[in-house]
Chain A
Amino acid sequence: MKTIKIMTIFLGIVVLSCTNVKSTWAEKPTNIVFLTWKPNQPEVWDTVIENFHQKNPDIHIKVQVGPHSSTQYHAIVAQRLKNMDKSVDVFFMDVIWPPEFANAGWALDLSSKFSVEEQNKFLSGPITANTYQGKIYGVPCYLGAGLFYYREDLLKKYHFKPPTLWKEMLKQGEVILKGENEQGLHIYSGQFKQYEGLVCNMMEFIWSNGGAVIEQKTGKVLLNDPTVVKSLEFVRDKIIARAAPRGVINYEEPESLDLFIQGKTIFHRNWPYAWAVANDQKKSKIAGKVGVGIIPAFQGHNSASTLGGWQFGINNYSMHAQKAWRFVQFMTSHETQKILALDAGLAPTRRSVYQDPEVQEKRPHLNAFLPAFKNTRPRPLSPVYPMISQELQRFFSHAITESGSDISEMAAASSARIEKFFALGAMIPK
């Protein structure tokens, strides 16, 4: 009897608390769930979202934070969207995902909301990346591009101009190393761990040698092309364990940047966020001594930067698409992008922000980024990109880790596997 009594009381409490929640629910603003990852400056994002709340009292943004790594964050977003999870309204998308999300029907087609006229106000690189089969699926929030950082003070000391060729970089580096004679000083650092960042780094070496991994129009895999093989050999023989410490083979962005801001490398490849870190007096030993420009190239070819950056997408199954769109609009407005540029150091995607006098005055380096931003090229645009990327990571890691390896033999095997992925994509009934 006692149990029954306790159970009844317990049930009563549950029922009461439920009705309680329900009665207050009606007066509460609509919850819009924004799925993202922890940014480097969370306080700036909090301010921006607070601004949105003040202007839109009928909407409450609930931020859900996922893992920082793009690949792991992708696993979570993909799982939730695939299950038609209605509890996500707005999500952050890496620049390589729109084709996949569009094809799978996860991202809402924004063509009716995001007019071509409005699209033209953004830089063209990220707009192309958000377009799939003529429709647009995301609104670019901030831009990423491979940038080439260097020690301005050291280059000046030895009367060098920032190198435009990879060979030139090595030569200047040799001279500086000899002159400085400092233990642990290296020429270059970048990201060469077997992960997505490796693809970004290697693409830049391949493009700057006139090569490409996949011919976008025909879908032909070009891994065995001499331009590709030559650039990989260059990285294996001249960069790894020569210009850069061998440890870079397990480095992501933070570790490679650490090396640079500790004054242990002369040249460094990273995304725009590294500028603020490298010039932070508290963290960096080289604050104020940093220069930035475009990635070097091989003789006779043009520099290219891998396009990166993040976009807002709206869940196709969201119950509040209209309100979610208001949030996305606000987050990508001139005002918000300006705050993100000024306080979080993020590179705007809207052209007008670059012309804003306050931005030009307080963030003069953004204009130094522009040449690289205009040089951006996307990674292969495909709904099966995650598979292609895993195979590319495997291929690149093998190619640069094993000295004297037969790159073209591995290229043949990898090409065959990637062609198989494309064959899967081609099976989609039109």
Chain B
Amino acid sequence: MIRKDQHLYLALLLPAIIVLLLFIAAPIINSFFLSFHRIIIGLPQLKTPFVALDNYLQLLKDPIARHSFFITIIFVALTTFFELLIGLFLALLIHHRFPGRGALRACVLIPWAIPTVVSAQMWRYLFNDAYGVINYMIFGANTNSYIPWLALPTTALSSIIVADIWKTSSFAALLILAGLQVIPEELYQAAKVDGAIVWQRFRHITWPLIRPALLIALLFRTIDAFRVFDLAFVMTQGGPADATNVLQLYGYKKMFVEGWMGYGSAVSVCIFIIVLVIAVAYVKMVGRRLLEANV
């Protein structure tokens, strides 16, 4: 009887496994495969020779890739930090009971629900040097002091960071809110009886109990931030002077614009490995924290 059951389980699992293999495993394996070859689609006469680790060795020596890696790290660090901070703040805010809370919760999610390409386009207008609202809000009618945000290397990167924080803070808030909601109300009531003030209640009840949720939000945000592509693609195309040429965009340009499939795949595989390492490290940490929380 049990054997029969197992067959049924397997049969029911099969569609999911096939879909996963087809749409997740196959492309990843193919990327690995491509990255060991020299494939230049504009020069098919060169065929597609196997070059072992040549693409990776070149990548290590590539100053442009190093620069891209560096700015991607800056992007990841700043966006994740601020997104978690703002997300925590938003979550605490919409966790409280007040009239119109449902509507507000829905509103908080709007930035996250807008497709990135659309919001990137919107931010591009907001940051425009001649008619952008941001310049108008800061300098009013004094057009001579308007800052060309997207034309200066440092402000261009900051602009993309701001756009990302605006967009995904609400996602972090959602995850943290889920963590907040599992905290039993009785703990707060007991603390109030003991005379704990707001800060003490936050420090000793909320904070330790939402740490697992925070870590999960951190995991998702870091991984997502590492793969940033669309914001830079729409807002700056990687410019000026490569200031926003994030790693993923660099890989895209190599692969689809220059037609250098092997090299571009090597970039993608590197991003994949970096993200995988981060994910494993976090999951181990989160797992331990979860256990600690249960004790």
Contact = CB atoms under 8 A, between A and B. Distances in A.
Interface string B104-125: 0000000000000000000000
Interface string B187-211: 0000000000000000000000000
Interface stretch (A322-330, A334-342, A397-405): A397-405
A429 B239 contact: no
Contact of A246 (B64, B148, B242): B148
A413 B130 CA distance: 35
B239 A250 contact: yes
A207 to B, nearest CB: 23
A105 B237 CA distance: 29
B237 A402 contact: no
A401 B240 contact: yes
A61 to B, nearest CB: 27
A250 B240 contact: yes
Main secondary structure of the interface of A (DSSP, over half): helix
A381 B216 CA distance: 52
A249 B242 CA distance: 12
B223 interface: no
Interface stretch (B4-12, B42-50, B87-95): B42-50
Contacts of B44: 82, 104-105
B257 A390 contact: yes
B148 A247 contact: yes
Interface in B121-154: 128-130, 143-144, 148, 150-153
B209 to A, nearest CB: 45
Given A246-B152, A390-B258, A424 B46 contact: yes
Given A250-B151, A386-B258, A398 B242 contact: yes
Interface centre among A264, A387, A413 (most CB of B within 10 A): A387
Given A184-B143, A250-B151, A78 B241 contact: no
A429 B44 CA distance: 11
Nearest to B129: A247
Contacts of A104: 41-44
B238 interface: yes
Chain B interface residue number, banded: 20 to 34
Nearest to B45: A428
Contact of A183 (B64, B144, B256): B144
A326 to B, nearest CB: 29
Interface in A382-398: 383-384, 386-387, 390, 393-394, 397-398
B260 A387 contact: yes
Nearest to B124: A250
B183 to A, nearest CB: 46
B40 interface: yes
Interface in A244-271: 245-250, 255, 258-259, 264
Contacts of B222: none
Nearest to B159: A250
Contacts of A184: 130, 143-144
B23 to A, nearest CB: 19
B148 A250 contact: yes
B241 A398 contact: yes
B241 A402 contact: yes
Size range of the interface on A?
Answer: 35 or more
A383 B46 CA distance: 13
Contacts of A259: 130
B256 A75 contact: yes
Nearest to A395: B241
Given A383-B43, A425-B43, A249 B130 contact: no
B108 to A, nearest CB: 31
A245 to B, nearest CB: 6
Contact of A424 (B43, B128, B150, B256): B43
B253 interface: yes
B213 interface: no
A352 interface: no
Contact of A384 (B43, B128, B236): B43
B225 interface: no
A184 B258 CA distance: 39
B259 interface: yes
Contacts of A183: 143-144
Contacts of A75: 256-257
A100 B63 CA distance: 27
Interface in A172-196: 183-184, 193-195
B151 A194 contact: no
Contacts of B242: 194, 394, 397-398
Given A184-B143, A384-B43, A424-B40, A194 B237 contact: yes
B258 A249 contact: no
B294 to A, nearest CB: 44
A427 interface: yes
Interface string A50-93: 00000000000000000000010011001100100000000000
Interface in A74-131: 74-75, 78-79, 82, 100, 103-105
B156 interface: yes
B257 A194 contact: no
B237 A428 contact: no
A74 B257 contact: yes
B129 A246 contact: yes
B43 A386 contact: no
Most chain A beta-carbon neighbours within 10 Å: one of B63, B129, B150, B260 = B129
Interface string B219-246: 0000000000000000011111111000
Contacts of A386: 42, 257-259
Interface of A: 71, 74-75, 78-79, 82, 100, 103-105, 183-184, 193-195, 245-250, 255, 258-259, 264, 383-384, 386-387, 390, 393-394, 397-398, 401-402, 413, 424-425, 427-429
Which 4 A-B pairs give the minimum distances between C-beta atoms?
Answer: A194-B239, A247-B129, A249-B151, A247-B148
11 contacts: A75-B256, A78-B42, A78-B259, A104-B41, A195-B239, A247-B129, A249-B151, A384-B42, A387-B42, A401-B243, A428-B45
Given A78-B42, A103-B42, A250-B240, 10 more contacts: A78-B41, A100-B42, A249-B151, A249-B152, A250-B150, A386-B258, A394-B242, A424-B46, A427-B46, A428-B43
